[in-house]
């Protein structure tokens, strides 16, 4: 460690904006602003290395750091002509954390440090306001006691209430019938007079003494060491840990600690404090935007106790807000602030979030960092900045988080709306949805038919629930992971879904919800009944009680522009997983370049079809099966015609039947009897057959191409439907590119058999129709063995599509339908950085993909390679597929824009890894 302290002040700074790792975002920003000549109260940053050394030494400041800090305080004193610990010219400081990545509100801040009774008196004299000095002092004791000494804030509430009552009596307010909130409204902090404040301070000190057994520390240096330690400690507090986990921030980064001379925004009406953004963080509009409060300090603006005023006049003329704006109240300060924000945005070439304080008409900047923004704002700001020439188009592409694009495509929760958290599950499919709870698919359909918005709540969904999922606004399940049926289907439909929400249990027409505290301990159970309102946020996996207002989806012109720029740089093609003509159209509208996976089984669940399907499965012998399949053929053909038309001129990969047959079987007695009547077969016989089909491990059982080995007539019918549809559409002059894909293969022989079958059917159809179309034959790679023998499989297959859902399941030996129960704990324990069903396990499953690629391409040069598992729509997995040199990814329609942007970013990253381009 070369040095522990980086000083800034008087126009000079030891650090700069590049040193975020060492100084944290806040420290680096303060240093850079100082260098730019922007008015910043002087101070210094204790580095993140000191934080890490502090932990390494068992929470002790490393030797020498205290001396360096004393020297830095000395520099502050001479710069400001004040002294730390002196009553004549008191120097007070703020102590704040500041990590490399911004973690708003996650860590602790202490203001007004350096006060004791004597210094508070000095401050009163110096500022001419006893009220101000005592108010600063009592706030300091409160935060210091809470953050450093561990005496919880609520212990002081009663004392504050008493002070308010005293002040009320003096003001002539009758406080006898007021509750705490009403009292605060009648006697706000600003009305606490010096006498009540002095008494309050004494009581606060007594509380500290009672709670800790020691008096509140009077020595400013003792206060300072305690505060710095507390800032470092806060890096590992529970809140910060949860936030880090949510945002993938490594614990090893540590936080820096900034000690800075206090400036006061609460010295009267010519003072104030505020926050500002150089552009509107919610819409992205290029306008200086922010809020301020006169005569206020620190967190007052964000704390929400007083309503802040706008910075700028609205431009629409008049109004109270305009009159209270900083522009109207202090035009000179406002003009300076406008200039400062423009300088900062130009300098940092990105939207900045600023914190400022005005002390007696003098402006100080306290913070400047890259501003957080909504997905919508991110797109607009990136595109407009590129057009303004501030950044390049490539930078614009890299500026937008592909994950945030989801916000643009789905309605989202209104961030300012009040909400009551009910439970958390997996963020299975983004979007916000509010509706009445229903517990069955039929009920969902019935209530939706009456015009009601409903949320379908199930332990887990099965293909039987499709109609209910279609009718519902959102889906909530207690079990299942990120590739469970509910998750995959909801994503395909673009519907909000929270899956694997283990806090709920569904039975007998109601759901019991276990409530947890911040530490994950159960606190209570509540019951939600059919008809009760809940709201889902599928983007975060959160469930709220009641209706929470949402903001509708809206695609802007800037979004289209950004997509055009992204398409120009990406190499990976983006296709979509779509099972119906409707989904195919949605996908194409979002820019899909073909269908990478059409799951034919989803076509069998409509009422008229499921009956024929069941007949086929339960028929005795081939003849019975063929009779039932003949009923299904026209339906399948019709679907394929629709899909081919929607995807005119683009490839369409159709996968032959995959799931275990029992998924299609009657679920209850009523369905069994209906079927028995239709087939003229006794119900007992059907029931026995039904039982025979039950498997212990259906996912590893009789599914995929194994079905075709035992009952080839199923694939025969499907191949015929595909080829007939292709011929029909081609005959209408529409270009078709059918690709037939075999699921779950693991041997060359399986492919040789199914290929002969498909080709045989195709030849027959060509002869019947008197025309030929090109039909490609390929397979999914979903089993480790398939990846290993990819060379042999490529002898038969013209393309591979990695089914990374099953490949993850089979490589890890983790059931994708049960993973939700324990994968959370795996991620929490750091065993997996992310859910491997969501984000590709590059080290394991990724290597299988690479082996499959190498062995496949060695046997068949130019073999087309794609991915159709859910990872095809996940940005970090897409980066892996780019590096792996695959040809395309395929994802649900609503993720197509996400994938286009992620593919472009991955291409740019790959390019910069190869070295700078000659033209840049
Ligand atoms: C897969 O396994 O990755 C896949 C796409 O198929 P499914 O999810 O239908 O099993
Ligand atoms: Mg699969």
Sequential DSSP letters for 815-840? -TTTGGGTHHHHHHTTSSSS-TTTS-
Q: How far is CA 603 from the centre of its chain?
A: 32
Contact 547, 434 (CB under 8 A): yes
* Per-residue pLDDT at 87 exceeds 60: yes
Q: Where are the alpha helices (DSSP H) in 647-783?
A: 669-679, 683-692, 706-710, 712-731, 748-769
Query: Which ligand sits closest to the CA of 481?
Result: 1
pLDDT in the model for residue 919? 44
Q: Is 868 a pocket residue for ligand 1 (Cβ < 6 Å)?
A: yes
The span from the CA of 358 to the CA of 333, in Å, is 8
Q: Which atom of ligand 1 is nearest to the CA of 806?
A: 2
What are the tens digits of pLDDT across the range 735-783?
999 999 999 999 999 999 999 999 999 999 999 999 999 999 999 999 9
* Per-residue pLDDT at 331 exceeds 50: yes
Q: Which atom of ligand 1 is nearest to the CA of 869?
A: 3
What the block records as the tokens of 129 is 């306001």
pLDDT in the model for residue 106? 62
Query: Which ligand sits closest to the CA of 868?
Result: 1
Q: Is 208 a pocket residue for ligand 1 (Cβ < 6 Å)?
A: no
Q: Sort strands 595-599 and 573-577 into parallel, antiparallel or unpaired.
A: parallel
**Candidates 491, 596, 597, 892: which one to mutate for ligand 1, based on the most atoms within 8 Å of Cβ?**
597
Q: How far is CA 589 from the centre of its chain?
A: 24
Residue the block writes with tokens 């499965």? 617
Residue 522, C-beta contacts closer than 8 angstroms, at least 6 positions apart: 514, 515, 516
The span from the CA of 221 to the CA of 66, in Å, is 10
Q: Band the pLDDT of 652: cuts 50, 70, 90.
A: very high
Q: Is 280 a pocket residue for ligand 1 (Cβ < 6 Å)?
A: no
DSSP character for 216? P
Helix (H) or strand (E) holding 28: helix 20-35
Bridge partners, residue 598, by sequence: 654
Average pLDDT over residues 574-600: 95
Q: Would you tell me how many other CB atoms lie within 10 Å of the CB of residue 389?
A: 7
- Which one has a higher pLDDT value, 370 or 41? 41
Q: Sort strands 255-261 and 93-99 into parallel, antiparallel or unpaired.
A: antiparallel
Q: Is 805 a pocket residue for ligand 1 (Cβ < 6 Å)?
A: yes
The residue contributing the CA closest to ligand 1 atom 1 is 803
What are the tens digits of pLDDT across the range 623-646?
989 999 999 999 999 999 999 999
Helix (H) or strand (E) holding 522: strand 522-529
Minimum mean pLDDT range among 106-110, 163-167, 469-473, 594-598: 106-110
> Which segments of the chain belong to CATH 3.30.470.20?
270-372
Residue 147, C-beta contacts closer than 8 angstroms, at least 6 positions apart: 108, 110, 227, 230, 234
* Per-residue pLDDT at 495 exceeds 60: yes
Q: What residues are annotated to the active site?
A: 485, 868
Report how many helices (DSSP H) and strands (DSSP E) the chain contains, helices first. Answer: 36, 32
Residue 768, C-beta contacts closer than 8 angstroms, at least 6 positions apart: none
Bridge partners, residue 90, by sequence: 83
Query: Which ligand sits closest to the CA of 485?
Result: 1
Spatial CA neighbour of 499 closest among 555, 557, 435, 430:
430
Cα 703 to middle of ligand 2, angstroms:
10
The span from the CA of 535 to the CA of 768, in Å, is 54
The span from the CA of 176 to the CA of 191, in Å, is 18
- The model carries a pTM of 0.81
Q: Which atom of ligand 1 is nearest to the CA of 871?
A: 3
Buried-state track 297-309, b at ≥16 Cβ within 10 A, e below 16 = bbbbbeeeeeebb
**Candidates 428, 480, 483, 490: which one to mutate for ligand 1, based on the most atoms within 8 Å of Cβ?**
483
Determine whether 766 is exposed, middle or buried from the number of CB atoms within 10 Å of its CB (0-12, 13-18, 19+). Answer: middle
pLDDT in the model for residue 285? 92
The span from the CA of 291 to the CA of 648, in Å, is 53
Q: Band the pLDDT of 393: cuts 50, 70, 90.
A: very high
The span from the CA of 572 to the CA of 877, in Å, is 12
The span from the CA of 688 to the CA of 681, in Å, is 12
Q: How far is CA 433 from CA 423, 438, 474, 491, 544, in A?
A: 15, 14, 6, 14, 10
Binding site residues for Mg(2+), as ranges? 782, 806
What are the tens digits of pLDDT across the range 169-187?
888 888 777 777 777 777 8
The residue contributing the CA closest to ligand 1 atom 3 is 803
Q: Band the pLDDT of 306: cuts 50, 70, 90.
A: low
The torsion of the CA quartet 435, 439, 442, 445, rounded to 10 degrees, works out to: 0
Cα 257 to middle of ligand 2, angstroms:
50
pLDDT in the model for residue 785? 98
Q: Is 615 a pocket residue for ligand 1 (Cβ < 6 Å)?
A: no
* Per-residue pLDDT at 917 exceeds 70: no
* Per-residue pLDDT at 316 exceeds 70: no
Domain 409-549's class? alpha beta
Q: Sort strands 474-477 and 454-458 into parallel, antiparallel or unpaired.
A: parallel
pLDDT in the model for residue 300? 64
Portion of the chain with pLDDT greater than 90, in percent: 66
Spatial CA neighbour of 49 closest among 68, 74, 36, 30:
68
pLDDT in the model for residue 140? 95
Cα 617 to middle of ligand 1, angstroms:
22
Average pLDDT over residues 780-807: 98
What are the tens digits of pLDDT across the range 248-257?
788 899 999 9
* Per-residue pLDDT at 884 exceeds 80: yes
Average pLDDT over residues 108-121: 93
Average pLDDT over residues 640-657: 98
Average pLDDT in the chain: 91
Average pLDDT over residues 83-91: 94
Over its C-alpha atoms, the chain yields an Rg (Å, rounded) of: 33
Contact 843, 837 (CB under 8 A): no
Minimum mean pLDDT range among 450-454, 554-558, 644-648, 904-908: 554-558
Task: Note the CATH number of domain 1-115+218-261.
Answer: 3.30.1490.20
What the block records as the tokens of 270 is 């010519």
- Which one has a higher pLDDT value, 327 or 282? 327
> Which segments of the chain belong to CATH 3.30.1490.20?
1-115+218-261
The span from the CA of 752 to the CA of 196, in Å, is 90
What the block records as the tokens of 71 is 């020297």
* Per-residue pLDDT at 1 exceeds 80: no
Q: What does the longest C-alpha to C-alpha distance in the chain come to?
A: 104
Cα 813 to middle of ligand 2, angstroms:
14
Buried-state track 603-634, b at ≥16 Cβ within 10 A, e below 16 = bbbeeebbbbbbbbbbbeeeeebeebbebbbe
Average pLDDT over residues 226-233: 95
pLDDT in the model for residue 918? 46
Q: How far is CA 29 from CA 40, 252, 370, 563, 905, in A?
A: 10, 21, 9, 32, 27
The span from the CA of 775 to the CA of 654, in Å, is 11
- Which one has a higher pLDDT value, 727 or 668? 727
Q: Would you tell me how many other CB atoms lie within 10 Å of the CB of residue 837?
A: 28
Query: Which ligand sits closest to the CA of 817?
Result: 1
The span from the CA of 856 to the CA of 852, in Å, is 6
Helix (H) or strand (E) holding 545: strand 542-545
Strand arrangement, sheet containing 510-516: 504-507, 510-516, 522-529
The span from the CA of 102 to the CA of 375, in Å, is 17
* Per-residue pLDDT at 30 exceeds 50: yes
The span from the CA of 277 to the CA of 289, in Å, is 5
* Per-residue pLDDT at 551 exceeds 50: yes
What the block records as the tokens of 447 is 């209530």
Minimum mean pLDDT range among 91-100, 276-285, 360-369: 276-285
Contact 294, 320 (CB under 8 A): no
Cα 599 to middle of ligand 2, angstroms:
10
Cα 788 to middle of ligand 1, angstroms:
19
* Domain 270-372 superfamily per CATH: ATP-grasp fold, B domain (3.30.470.20)
The span from the CA of 289 to the CA of 266, in Å, is 22
Per residue, what are the HEC states of 470-522? HHCCEEEECCCCCCCHHHHHHHHHCCEEEECCCCEEEECCEEEEEEECCCCCE
Spatial CA neighbour of 866 closest among 840, 890, 839, 901:
890
The span from the CA of 254 to the CA of 240, in Å, is 11
Q: Is 655 a pocket residue for ligand 1 (Cβ < 6 Å)?
A: no
Spatial CA neighbour of 16 closest among 292, 327, 347:
347
Domain 569-659+694-912's class? alpha beta
Contact 108, 258 (CB under 8 A): no
What are the tens digits of pLDDT across the range 672-729?
888 888 888 888 888 888 888 888 898 999 999 999 999 999 999 999 999 999 999 9
Average pLDDT over residues 421-442: 91
Three-state SS at 496: strand
Contact 502, 902 (CB under 8 A): no
Binding site residues for substrate, as ranges? 599, 655, 782, 803-806
DSSP character for 372? P
* Per-residue pLDDT at 432 exceeds 50: yes
Q: Band the pLDDT of 574: cuts 50, 70, 90.
A: very high
Domain 124-216 has CATH 3.30.465.10: no
- Which one has a higher pLDDT value, 485 or 801? 801
Q: Band the pLDDT of 815: cuts 50, 70, 90.
A: very high
Q: Is 804 a pocket residue for ligand 1 (Cβ < 6 Å)?
A: yes
Please report the beta strands in 383-440, taking only residues with DSSP state E, as ranges in sequence order: 412-413, 420-424, 426-429, 432-438
Q: Band the pLDDT of 920: cuts 50, 70, 90.
A: very low
Q: Would you tell me how many other CB atoms lie within 10 Å of the CB of residue 510?
A: 16
Q: Band the pLDDT of 301: cuts 50, 70, 90.
A: low
Contact 787, 816 (CB under 8 A): no
The residue contributing the CA closest to ligand 1 atom 6 is 803
* Per-residue pLDDT at 795 exceeds 50: yes
**Candidates 603, 743, 779: which one to mutate for ligand 1, based on the most atoms within 8 Å of Cβ?**
743
The span from the CA of 462 to the CA of 49, in Å, is 52
């Amino acid at each position: 460690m070369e040095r522990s302290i980086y000083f800034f002040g008087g126009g000079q700074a030891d650090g700069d904006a590049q040193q975020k790792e060492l100084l944290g975002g806040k420290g680096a920003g303060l240093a850079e602003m100082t260098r730019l000549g922007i008015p910043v109260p002087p101070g210094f940053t204790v580095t993140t290395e000191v934080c890490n050394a502090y932990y390494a030494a068992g929470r002790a400041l490393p030797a020498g750091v205290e001396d360096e800090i004393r020297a830095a305080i000395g520099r502050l004193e001479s710069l400001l002509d004040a002294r730390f610990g002196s009553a004549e010219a008191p120097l007070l400081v703020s102590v704040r954390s500041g990590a490399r990545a911004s973690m708003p509100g996650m860590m602790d801040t202490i203001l007004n440090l350096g006060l004791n009774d004597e210094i508070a008196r000095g401050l009163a004299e110096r500022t001419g306001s006893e009220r101000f000095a005592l108010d600063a002092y009592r706030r300091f004791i409160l935060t210091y006691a809470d953050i450093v000494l561990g005496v919880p804030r609520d212990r002081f509430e009663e004392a504050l209430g008493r002070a308010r009552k005293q002040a009320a009596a003096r003001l002539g307010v009758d406080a006898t019938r007021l509750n705490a909130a009403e009292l605060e409204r009648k006697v706000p902090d600003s009305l606490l007079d010096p006498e009540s404040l002095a008494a309050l301070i004494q009581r606060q000190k007594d509380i500290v003494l009672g709670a800790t057994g020691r008096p509140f520390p009077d020595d400013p240096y003792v206060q300072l060491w305690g505060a710095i330690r507390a800032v470092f400690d806060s890096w590992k507090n529970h809140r910060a840990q949860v936030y880090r986990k949510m945002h993938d921030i490594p614990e090893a980064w540590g936080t820096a600690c900034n000690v800075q001379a206090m400036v006061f925004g609460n010295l009267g009406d010519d003072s104030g404090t505020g926050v500002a953004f150089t552009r509107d963080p919610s819409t992205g509009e290029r306008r200086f935007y922010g809020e301020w409060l006169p005569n206020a300090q620190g967190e007052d603006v964000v704390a929400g106790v007083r309503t802040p005023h706008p910075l700028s006049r609205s431009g629409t003329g008049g109004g109270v807000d305009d009159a209270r704006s900083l522009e109207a109240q202090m035009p000179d300060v406002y003009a300076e602030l406008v200039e400062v924000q423009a300088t900062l945005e130009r300098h940092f070439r990105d939207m900045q979030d600023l914190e400022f304080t005005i002390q007696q008409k003098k402006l100080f900047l306290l913070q400047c960092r890259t501003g957080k923004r909504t997905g919508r704002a991110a797109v607009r700001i990136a595109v407009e900045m590129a057009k303004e020439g501030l950044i390049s188009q490539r930078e614009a592409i890299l500026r937008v988080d592909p994950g945030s694009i989801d916000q643009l495509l789905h309605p989202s929760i209104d961030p300012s709306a009040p909400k009551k958290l009910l439970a958390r599950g997996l963020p299975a499919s983004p979007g916000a949805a509010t509706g009445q709870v229903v517990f069955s698919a039929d009920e969902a359909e019935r209530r939706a038919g009456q015009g009601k918005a409903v949320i379908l709540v199930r332990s887990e969904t099965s293909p039987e629930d499709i109609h209910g999922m279609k009718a519902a606004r959102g889906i909530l399940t207690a079990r299942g992971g990120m590739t469970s049926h509910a998750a995959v289907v909801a994503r395909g439909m673009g519907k909000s879904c929270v899956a694997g929400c283990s806090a709920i249990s569904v039975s007998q027409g109601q759901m019991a919800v276990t409530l947890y505290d911040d530490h994950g301990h159960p606190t209570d159970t509540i019951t939600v009944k059919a008809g009760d309102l809940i709201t889902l946020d599928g983007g975060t996996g959160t469930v709220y009680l009641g209706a929470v207002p949402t903001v509708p989806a809206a695609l802007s012109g800037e979004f289209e522009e950004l997509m055009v720029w992204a398409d120009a740089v990406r190499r990976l093609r983006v296709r979509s997983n779509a099972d119906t003509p409707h989904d195919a159209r949605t996908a194409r509208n979002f820019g899909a370049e073909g269908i990478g996976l059409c799951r034919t089984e989803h076509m069998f669940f409509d009422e008229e079809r499921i009956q024929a399907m069941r007949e086929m499965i339960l028929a005795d012998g081939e003849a019975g099966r063929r009779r039932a399949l003949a009923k299904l053929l026209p339906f399948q053909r019709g679907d394929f015609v629709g899909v081919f038309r929607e995807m005119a001129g683009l490839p369409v990969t159709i996968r032959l039947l995959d799931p275990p047959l029992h998924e299609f079987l009657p679920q209850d007695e009523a369905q069994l009897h209906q079927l028995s009547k239709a087939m003229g077969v006794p119900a007992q016989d059907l029931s026995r057959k039904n039982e025979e089909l039950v498997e212990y491990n259906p996912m590893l059982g009789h599914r995929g191409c194994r079905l075709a080995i035992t009952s080839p007539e199923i694939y025969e019918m499907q191949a015929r439907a595909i080829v007939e549809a292709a011929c029909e559409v081609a005959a209408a002059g529409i270009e078709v590119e059918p690709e037939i894909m075999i699921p779950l293969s693991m041997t060359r022989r399986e492919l040789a058999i199914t290929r002969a079958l498909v080709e045989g059917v195709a030849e027959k159809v060509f002869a019947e129709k008197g025309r030929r179309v090109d039909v490609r034959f390929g397979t999914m790679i979903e089993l480790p063995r398939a990846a290993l023998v990819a060379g042999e499989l490529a002898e038969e297959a013209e393309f591979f599509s990695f089914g990374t859902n099953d490949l993850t399941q089979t490589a890890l030996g983790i059931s994708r339908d049960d993973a939700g129960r324990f994968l959370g704990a795996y991620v929490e324990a750091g065993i997996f950085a992310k859910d491997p069903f969501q984000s590709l396990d590059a080290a394991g499953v990724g290597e299988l993909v690479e082996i499959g690629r190498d062995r496949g391409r060695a046997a068949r040069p130019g073999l087309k390679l794609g991915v159709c598992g859910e990872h095809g729509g996940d940005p970090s997995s897409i980066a892996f597929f780019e590096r792996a040199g695959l040809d395309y990814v395929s994802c649900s329609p609503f993720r197509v824009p996400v994938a286009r942007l992620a593919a472009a970013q991955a291409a740019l990253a790959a390019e910069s890894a190869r070295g700078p381009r000659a033209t840049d």
